[in-house]
Amino acid sequence: MIDLKLLQKDFQSVSAKLIRKGVSTELLEELKAKNEELKVAKVAYETLQAAQNAMSKEFGVYKREGKDIAELKARVDENKVKVAEAIEVQRTATEALESLAMAVPNMPDDSVPDGKDEEDNIELKKVLTPKEFSFPPKEHWELAEQNGWIDFERGVKLATSRFSVSFGMGARLERALINFMLDFNRSRGFDEVSVPALVNRTALEGTGQLPKFEDDLYKMDGQELFLIPTAEVPVTNLYQDEILAEDELPKKMTAYTSCFRKEAGAAGRDTRGMIRQHQFHKVELVAIVKPEESEKIFEEMVTCASDILTALELPHRLVNLCTGDLGFGAAYTTDIEVWLPGQATYREISSISNTRDFQARRAKIRYKDGKKNSFVNTLNGSSLAVGRTLVAIMENNQNEDGSIDIPEVLKPYLGM
């Protein structure tokens, strides 16, 4: 959640940043109106409370002077009713502002470039040079079917479109990639955790998937439980509504989970293959840190994910997302895009984001900063999407006869 105190103090500055992220003027006007209502309610309450305090002091004076307190008591009792009413008006105004603010995205950092969509993202650097093939490289679904690694038709038979079944070496490679990624992340100081695949509404509100993205989530009938769209949700919310000791930070974690997304906004996109599935495996990085540490640890996370791809000998590039492509909760994001020769393009395989204190405010994650409690910063990123990594291995390591070479770093995980 955006900082409501900052909103009240400097509405113009906050709204200017939100406009950069595409927030409508209608929503901003509504936010301004709710903010003004709360200001008025606070002033009314403070005025009445000040009067109450003044009258309370008069009691002592009246008693010392032997005055009749009946009329003063009547005024105090009448004002008490007004104070109680003012408290309720202020509570209602606060809830209305907070409810509206839950649908407002994070403010982008000043360093984020302006832009409309992914076409306006800025390439930071390329890592490794794509291989030149002496034959037309095939796309991953052709290779998967030829090698018997992935069966898309049986996935549809078991569920519906955008599901698949892995067989033999395809299934073994997925498992090898998961173990390799977890081991790699642990070597970089990220502690492994295992979390539920179902979470409650509060957890999804904490990390910003709700209320805005409910249509993209799978919900359990009759229960306020949802299948997770990413391990970011349960791992970040491990510390929901807690006050951490300063010496506990930073908390750097990695987790493997299956992820579930309806892909409600992806109709007609990537309908073939494994690029956009309803269920997929992913290894995630999450960090909970003091604000002054967040930029340093962000760079550690980007480097960690990039180095996994380098170890797998997969060409990739780092991209700075513009305001129009920035996620709901992110203050800034670096995407990592892997080269897919079958498509002759780079495709996203990881998004690493610093949300600053946006998620911490929603999830109430704080730390003891000297004598006061302060909000932490939270960071998250894929390290990596397993299916897309498998796709990249197939396309980059293919031979003319359709066979696929196994990356050296994965061979120990396969008993090779």
Which residues are annotated as part of the binding site for L-serine?
Answer: 230-232, 261, 284, 380, 382
Binding annotation for ATP: 261-263, 348-351
Q: Tell me how crowded residue 117 is: count the other CB atoms within 10 A of its CB.
A: 10
Task: Describe the crossing of helices 140-147 and 386-396 by its angle, rounded to 10 degrees.
Answer: 80
Which tokens go with 20?
Answer: 């950069």
| 348: annotated active-site residue | yes
Is 91 labeled as catalytic in the residue annotation?
A: no
User: Which residue in the list 58, 242, 295, 348 is annotated as catalytic?
Assistant: 348
Residues in the chain: 416
- Is 175 catalytic? The answer is no
Q: Which of 351, 366, 383, 395 is catalytic?
A: 351
User: CA-CA distance, 1 to 363, in Å (whole number)?
Assistant: 9
Query: Which residues contribute to the annotated binding site?
Result: 230-232, 261-263, 284, 348-351, 380, 382
Active site residue 242: no
State the pairing for strand pair 150-151/332-340.
Answer: unpaired
Rounded-to-integer distance, Cα 93 and Cα 97, Å: 6
Which of 20, 356, 366, 388 is catalytic? The answer is: 388
Is the sign of the CA dihedral 392, 398, 404, 405 positive or negative? Answer: negative
111 is catalytic: no
Given the residues 172, 175, 188, 276, the one annotated as active site: 276
CA distance 317 to 148: 30
Residues classed as catalytic: 261, 276, 348, 351, 388
